[in-house]
Every structure is written in C-alpha cells, then in structure tokens.
Amino acid sequence: MLIRSLKKILFYYIILLAQELYTQESSVELPLIGDRLSGAVSQTEEEILGRQFLRDLKRESNILYDPIVQEWSELFVYKIGEVSKVNKKSYEILLIEDNSLNAFAAPGGIIGINAGLFKYADNEAQFASVIAHELAHLSERHFARQILESSDRSNANLATILASIVVAVATRSPAAVIGGQGLIATQTLRFSRQYETEADREGFLTLAKSGYDTREMSGMFKNMQEIRRLSGDNIPEFLLTHPITTRRITESRERARNAPKEGIIDSLNYKLIKSRVNFLMTDNLSIRALENNNYTKDEEIYFSALLEKKKLNYTKSLEILKGLEKKYPDNLIIKTSIAEIYTESGNVGKSKKYTQDLLDISLGNYPLSYNLANAYILEEDYIAAEQILEDIKFYRPVDIKLLKDLSEVQLKSNNLLGFHLTNSEYLFYSGRYEEALRDLQQARALSTNNFKIREIITERILILQSYVRNQRTRS
Ligand SMILES: [Zn+2]
C-alpha cells in the first residue's frame, strides 16, 4: 500500500514539474550554462519540486504547530544558514509531530525537524550540529549529484527521492512497515557514505563558524549511538539514513581537537524550547503522572508552568512564570508564555495591553502577534483579529495553521468571500486540491459584483483544475 502511495506521489511530481514550469514561467531563472549539476537537476526544477514536496508533507504528516517553537526554529536555521555555504538564504521550516529522532533537508531550502531532535539533542550545540549537517547536504547539492552519478538513472531522480522522504516521514518507521519492498524508499533517500562524510566535514565548518562548541558534534553522535543501542529493531529514520560508524565519531573528534576554540554549548532559550516541545508532545494521560515531580532547573520550572496551564490552574502557572520573568527580565519566550496565559485564562484586557507593549519593542513578532489576534478572537472582535492575521500572512503566505485560523475568523465576521478564498489557499498548501477548487468556485459565485476579483478567481480556478485533473488521472 505504501509503495502504491509512493508511486502515486511520484507520478504527481513528474506531471507537476511540467505544469509548474509552465504556470510560473515568469519567475523561471535561466540555468547556468555549463553547470553539469544543473543538467541533472536544474535549480529551478529543485525549487518547484521542493514546493510540491512541502505541500505533500503537510498533507501526509502531522505538523507540530506552535508559534513560539516555530519562531525559535526559524531564527535558528536562518542563523546557521547564514554562515553555511547554501547560496539561497531563504528557508521553509517544518516541525514534525514525532518523537523519534529525525531531521532532513530538501531542495528549495526546506528543513524538516522532528520533535524528537529536541528530545535527543542535549544542548543547543548538538542540535546545531545536526542542522549544520543537513544544510551541508543542500550546499553540496547532494541531491543533484546523487542523480548525476547514479548508474541506475531510472530509479534516481529528484521526484523519486522527495517522494520517498514524504513516505518515510509520514510513516514512523518505513523499514519496519514496508518490509522488503520498502527498499526502494529507504535506499533512494540514503546518501552515499562519501556524501555523509562530506556533510559531516562541511557541517563541522558551519558549526564552528556559527560559534558553537564543535566537540558537541561527537557528543551528538554518541547520543545517536546510544539511541541505536536501545531501539532494537525499531531504528529511527535518521539512524537508518545516517549510520553512526566509529569512523564518523573519530573524525569529528579529530576535527574538534584541531580546532580547539571553545564555543557556545547551550542557552536558556534552547532549554526553554526543548521543555516546551517536550510539553507539547506529552499527552494528557502522562501529564497526570508528572504532577508530583520536583522541578528545580529553570527549564523544569518552565515545564511545570505549562503543566499548570494545561490543568487550567492559570493563577499558579502565572505565578511560576512571573518568577522566571523576574530572574530573566528580557527573555521573550517567558514573556510570550505569560501573554498566552492572559489570553487563555480569558483576561483579554490584560493580554492586549501586555502583548501590545511588547510588540511596540519587538515589531511584527510572530508569536506575540498571534497571541494578540487570539485575544481579539476571544473578545469576538473578528475584524481586528482578521487584520492582524492578514498582516502575519503577508510574510507567512504558506503557513497552513495561520490560513486555517484566518479563514475561521473571516467566517465568523461574515466575510464569506474572504473565507472561501483563504480556505482554498489553506487547502491548496495542504496538498488538497479538489477541496481547494470547491472553495474557489464558491468564492466565484459570491463575487458576481466585483469584476476584478472574479477575473483573478477564474484564473486561479483554471490552474487548480489542472492540479485536480492530474490527481484524478493517477488514482
Ligand atoms: Zn546526512
């Protein structure tokens, strides 16, 4: 069944490639002449397939949506990416709601991070070492090179590789589930040992340039070795594609020894985010069992505040966070968490004032803006909420959680045209084309009086219809 879905997704990519090249002709850049790699996969092709890959991932896997964690992760990847050799410095970061260890990169600046990476990376430098390694796969153009060097060209094209990543991410343990047939899936997304060595080497340089303690790279390898030892037959995806050999560990130790400059190991923010992800991944049943723990470290105290919030003990939660705020008066993660409690506890007036004051200093901050919108929603001031969400959408146009929330606000404020338009965008970026088309048709029916909008909608309908046709052909 999984193989079938892999083939389906794959077929889709090929059709879409031709199609998107056509519809987005104006933005197509000419490939560099004489670039051997671009002959295998042009950068434009990578971009287009990357975008499609992103929509498939959003449809097929569980995404972890949390503005605070999302913002931290984005800033983090951009920071590391800045000193990496990746030439296109814009990234799309997707957090996967999965506690097993995994991270992946795909052309088009797409970085996927499993919740499990936060769980298993003991500190920020270890977390950074994995991200730096993944970015190196992009900067060294390993996808294109793998295709170029493959002897079996039929089974090695970018579409196959990306489709197999979708399948692997969507199913927790592809090897275990698919069995023998799944070999195509796992083999295509496994880079050669030479590329892994290259990614380790390049990732190390990036890690050093970002100012992190490079010794932590081998620390992360040791953690991975330990996970491998404990996981039995249920080996996490990342360890299947990244076998830890003694050579990898030795080489990373050697490199660190030759570059003995000490760097950053950890930060309060990473510890807080790690706690927050841990909290988000804890189900209600386990929360009960955590009640009587004795929390002493700052990040544990933060975790306990989130637990109290979950139990609706807002006063207690706020009291704990206020204690942390006193200790770290400039920490925005703590402050935003306080703002969220004001909103969630229904103290809308306080939430708006507190959040707005912070926004005056941190202009356009994403988690704070989101919190302000939520406060307005609670107050049933949908027009104000819509305005804020529209502002966020301006720089987060493919954020499907945002699009979903915006469409709901538009529905509540009786902006039906806006609702159908936004909802169709939400569905499109979630890879659900047929439903997206239905919403667009409803939007067109509502826009009889506005010629200009009607024209735009008609144009979008035509494009979507071809997506839908392809979807039908393959099933
Ligand atoms: Zn790798």
What CATH number should be reported for the domain holding residue 364?
1.25.40.10
Same domain? 285 vs 394: yes
Tell me which of 437 and 26 has the higher pLDDT. Answer: 437
User: What mean pLDDT comes out for the span 408-424?
Assistant: 96
Report how far ligand 1's centroid is from the alpha carbon of 199 (Å): 6
The reported pLDDT for the residue numbered 230 is: 87
Residue 434 Cα to ligand 1 middle (Å) = 36
- Residue 30, pLDDT score: 42
Question: What is the structure's pLDDT at 163?
Answer: 78
> What pLDDT digit, counting tens, does each position of 78-134 carry?
999 999 999 877 899 999 999 989 999 998 899 999 999 999 999 999 999 999 999
Residue 33 has a pLDDT of 44
On whether residue 219 sits in a domain, the answer given is: yes
Please give the distance, rounded to the nearest whole angstrom, from the Cα atom of residue 299 to the centre of ligand 1.
Answer: 30
If you measure from the C-alpha of residue 134 to the centroid of ligand 1, how many angstroms do you get, rounded to a whole number? 6
Mean pLDDT of 201-217: 95
pLDDT (0 to 100) of residue 349: 97
- 51 and 13 in a single domain? The answer is yes
Mean pLDDT of 347-364: 96
* CA triple 228-229-235, angle to 5 deg: 35
206 with 273, same domain?
no
**Mean confidence (pLDDT) of the chain:** 86
CA of 205 to the centre of ligand 1 (A): 15
Note the pLDDT tens digit of each residue in 381-400: 999 999 999 999 999 999 99
Please tell me whether residues 288 and 416 are part of one structural domain.
Answer: yes
Residues 419 and 407 sit within 8 Å (Cβ to Cβ): yes
- The whole-number average pLDDT for the span 25-47 is 58
Q: Are residues 443 and 464 in the same domain?
A: yes
Domain match, 238 and 278 both: no
The C-alpha angle with vertex 408 and arms to 471 and 428, in degrees rounded to 5, equals 20
Pseudo-torsion of CA 210, 213, 218, 223, nearest 10°?
-100
Q: Tell me the CA–centroid distance for residue 189 and ligand 1, in Å.
A: 10
pLDDT surpasses 60 at 297: yes
Q: Does position 153 have pLDDT exceeding 70, yes or no?
A: no
- pTM score, two decimals? 0.88
Between 23-27, 269-273, 320-324, 413-417, the lowest mean confidence (pLDDT) is in 23-27
Q: What is the mean pLDDT of residues 217-234?
A: 88
Confidence band for 366, pLDDT divided at 50, 70 and 90: very high
Residue 436 CA to ligand 1 center (angstroms) comes to: 36
Q: Is pLDDT of 160 > 90? A: no
Q: Which of 199, 226, 257 is the last residue of a domain?
A: 257
pLDDT at position 179? 40
- Provide the pLDDT confidence category of residue 13 given band limits of 50, 70 and 90: low
Share of the chain above pLDDT 70, in %: 85
User: If you measure from the C-alpha of residue 244 to the centroid of ligand 1, how many angstroms do you get, rounded to a whole number?
Assistant: 11
- pLDDT at 17 exceeding the cut of 80: no
> Which of 102-116, 175-189, 412-426, 431-445 is predicted with the least confidence, judged by mean pLDDT?
175-189
Same domain, 274 and 227: no
Q: 293 and 322 in one domain?
A: yes
Burial of 172: CB neighbours in 10 Å, binned 0-12, 13-18, 19+? middle
Distance 98 CA to ligand 1 centre (A): 19
Q: Which residue has the higher pLDDT, 390 or 30?
A: 390
pLDDT above 60: residue 403:
yes
pLDDT of amino acid 7: 53
Q: Who has greater pLDDT, 204 or 246?
A: 204
Distance 136 CA to ligand 1 centre (A): 8
What secondary structure letter does DSSP report for 372? H
- Higher pLDDT among residues 18 and 138, named by residue: 138
Q: Distance from the CA of 211 to the center of ligand 1, in angstroms?
A: 21
Question: Per the domain annotation, does 300 fall within a domain?
Answer: yes
Residues with CB under 5 A from ligand 1 (ion): 199
Q: Is residue 102 part of a domain?
A: yes
In percent, the amount of the chain with pLDDT more than 90 equals 60
C-alpha of residue 196 to centroid of ligand 1, in Å: 5
Q: Is 138 in contact with 77 (CB distance < 8 Å)? A: no
Query: 133 CA distance to ligand 1 centroid (A)?
Result: 6
Residues 6+ apart with CB under 8 A from 307: 279, 287, 290, 291
Ligand 1 centre and the CA of 36: distance in Å? 23
Residue 64: strand, helix, or coil: coil
Determine, yes or no, domain membership for 16.
Answer: yes
Q: What pLDDT shows up at residue 247?
A: 86
Last residue of a domain, one of 224, 257, 290: 257
* Whether residues 273 and 239 fall in one domain: no
- First and final C-alpha spacing in the chain: 13
| Whether residue 352 sits in one domain with residue 286 | yes
In-domain check, residue 262: no
Q: What is the pLDDT of residue 144?
A: 82
Task: Look up residue 152 and give its DSSP letter.
Answer: -
- Nearest-CA neighbor of 270 among 298, 295, 243? 298
Question: How far apart are the C-alpha atoms of 323 and 333, rounded to whole Å?
Answer: 14
CA of 392 to the centre of ligand 1 (A): 33
387 or 250, higher pLDDT: 387
Question: Number of structural domains, the chain?
Answer: 2
Question: How far apart are the CA of 78 and the centre of ligand 1, in A?
Answer: 19
Look at residue 188 in the predicted model and tell me its pLDDT.
53
Which range is least confidently modeled, 164-178, 209-223, 313-327, 441-455?
Answer: 164-178
**Confidence label for 260 from pLDDT (cuts 50, 70 and 90):** low
Looking at the domain assignment, is residue 386 inside a domain?
A: yes
Range of the domain at 301: 268-474
Ligand 1 center–CA 182 separation, angstroms: 20
Residues 230 and 344 in one domain: no
Determine the distance separating the centroid of ligand 1 and the alpha carbon of 181, expressed in angstroms: 23
Domain boundary (216, 238, 257) is at 257
In this predicted structure, the answer to whether residue 25 has a pLDDT above a threshold of 50 is no
Q: Who contacts 337 (Cβ-Cβ below 8 Å, separation ≥6)?
A: 68, 302, 305, 306, 321
Q: Which of 253, 183, 244 is nearest to 215 (CA)?
A: 253
Helix (H, G, I), strand (E, B) or coil at 349: helix
The answer on 131 and 243 residing in a single domain is yes
**239 C-alpha to center of ligand 1: Å?**
10
Q: What is the pLDDT of residue 172?
A: 58
Residue with tokens 């919190």: 371
